[in-house]
Structure 1
Amino acid sequence: MSIELPSTYKHTNISDGVRSACLKNPSKIAYKHGKNTRTYSELTQRIDSISSLISSFGILSKSNIAIVASNSIEYMEIVLAASQLGHPIATVNPKLTIKEIVSICEDAQASLIFVDQKVSSLLEGIHIDGAQRKINIENELSNLIDHSSQMGGLPAIDEKETFTIPYTSGTTGKPKGVLVPHRSRALTLYGMADAYGCFSSDDRFLSIAPMCHGAGMIFSLAPIFFGGYAEIMDDFNPELVMKTIEEENITGFFLGFQPIFMGCLA
Structure 2
Amino acid sequence: MRWELDWLENRARLSPNKRAIIDEDTNKSWTYEGLNNRSSSVASWLKSQGIKKGDRVALLSPNDISYFDLLFACGKIGAIFVPLNWRLSLHELIEILKDCTPILLGVHQKFKNRFTSLQAVVPSSIIVGGHMYEEMMTLLDGSKQMESISESDPLAMIYTGGTTGKPKGVVLSHQSIQWNAINTILSWNLSDEDVTINYMPMFHTGGLNALSLPILMIGGTVVIGDQYSGEKVVNSIKQYNCTIILLVPTMYHLLIQSDEFQKSAFPSMKIFLSGAAPCPLQVYEAFQKKGLAFKEGYGLTEAGPNNFYIQPGDAQIKRGSVGKPMLFNAVKLEKEDGQEAQVNEVGEILIKGKHSFSHYWNNELATIETKKGGWVHTGDLARKDEEGFHYIVGRKKDMIITGGENVYPLEIEHWLAAHPFVDEVAVIGLPDQKWGELVAAFIVTKNSYRIDEEELKFYCEQKLGRYKIPKKFIQIEELPKTHVGKIDKKKLKELSIQT
Q: What is the TM-score normalised by the length of structure 2? A: 0.48
Letter in 2 for 1:208: Y
Per-residue deviation, residues 60-107 of structure 1 (Å, max 9, x unmatched) = 433111111110122211111112111111111112111111111121
Query: CA 1:237/1:171 → structure 2, altered by over 3 Å: closer, same or farther?
Result: farther
RMSD over equivalenced CA pairs, Å: 2.2
Letter in 1 for 2:105: I
In the alignment, is residue 260 of structure 1 matched against residue 253 of structure 2?
A: yes
SS in 1 for 2:16: coil
In structure 2, the partner of 1:24 is 14
Q: Is the Cα contact below 8 Å between 1:98 and 1:123 reproduced in 2? A: no
Letter in 2 for 1:217: L
Q: Is the Cα contact below 8 Å between 2:53 and 2:147 reproduced in 1? A: no
Query: CA 1:11/1:21 → structure 2, altered by over 3 Å: closer, same or farther?
Result: closer
Structure 1, 235-244 or 81-90: larger mean CA deviation: 235-244
In the alignment, is residue 77 of structure 1 matched against residue 72 of structure 2?
A: no
1:59: Cα distance to partner? Answer: 3.1
SS in 2 for 1:26: coil
Q: Which runs of 5+ in 2 are unaligned?
A: 262-285, 287-499
In structure 2, the partner of 1:119 is 111
- Residue of 198, 204, 211 corresponding to 1:207: 198
Distance in 1 of aligned mates of 2:83 and 2:236: 27
In structure 1, the partner of 2:228 is 236
Distance in 2 of aligned mates of 1:65 and 1:225: 23
Per-residue deviation, residues 112-156 of structure 1 (Å, max 9, x unmatched) = 011111323213244544x34111112553344445444422100
Letter in 2 for 1:56: S
1:250: Cα distance to partner? Answer: 0.7
Distance in 2 of aligned mates of 1:150 and 1:229: 24
In structure 1, the partner of 2:126 is 135
1:32-111 matches, cutoff 5 A: 32-33=22-23, 34=25, 35-111=27-103
Q: Higher Cα Rg: structure 1 or 2?
A: 2
Distance in 1 of aligned mates of 2:4 and 2:146: 14
Structure 1 vs Structure 2: percent identity of aligned residues?
25
Query: CA 1:212/1:187 → structure 2, altered by over 3 Å: closer, same or farther?
Result: same
SS in 2 for 1:82: helix
Structure 1, 168-177 or 233-242: larger mean CA deviation: 168-177
Per-residue deviation, residues 206-241 of structure 1 (Å, max 9, x unmatched) = 111000001111122221111111111003221111
**Higher-helix-fraction structure:** 1
In structure 2, the partner of 1:225 is 217
1:26: Cα distance to partner? Answer: 1.0
- Residue of 167, 186, 207 corresponding to 1:216: 207
Q: Is the Cα contact below 8 Å between 2:199 and 2:207 reproduced in 1? A: yes
Distance in 1 of aligned mates of 2:160 and 2:99: 13
Larger relative contact order, structure 1 or 2 (CA cutoff 8 Å, min sep 6): 1
Letter in 2 for 1:181: S
In structure 1, the partner of 2:446 is none
Q: What is the TM-score normalised by the length of structure 1? A: 0.87
SS in 2 for 1:160: coil
1:257: Cα distance to partner? Answer: 5.0
Query: CA 1:175/1:196 → structure 2, altered by over 3 Å: closer, same or farther?
Result: same
In the alignment, is residue 167 of structure 1 matched against residue 125 of structure 2?
A: no
SS in 2 for 1:48: helix
Structure 1, 142-151 or 216-225: larger mean CA deviation: 142-151
**Higher-strand-fraction structure:** 2
Distance in 2 of aligned mates of 1:164 and 1:184: 10
Distance in 2 of aligned mates of 1:126 and 1:228: 36
Query: CA 1:116/1:62 → structure 2, altered by over 3 Å: closer, same or farther?
Result: same
Per-residue deviation, residues 179-205 of structure 1 (Å, max 9, x unmatched) = 0111011111111112222x2211111
Letter in 1 for 2:14: K
Query: CA 1:118/1:170 → structure 2, altered by over 3 Å: closer, same or farther?
Result: farther
Letter in 2 for 1:52: S
Structure 1, 109-118 or 56-65: larger mean CA deviation: 56-65
Query: CA 1:41/1:127 → structure 2, altered by over 3 Å: closer, same or farther?
Result: closer
Q: Which runs of 5+ in 1 are unaligned?
A: 1-9
Query: CA 1:150/1:76 → structure 2, altered by over 3 Å: closer, same or farther?
Result: closer
Distance in 1 of aligned mates of 2:109 and 2:21: 21
Letter in 2 for 1:212: F
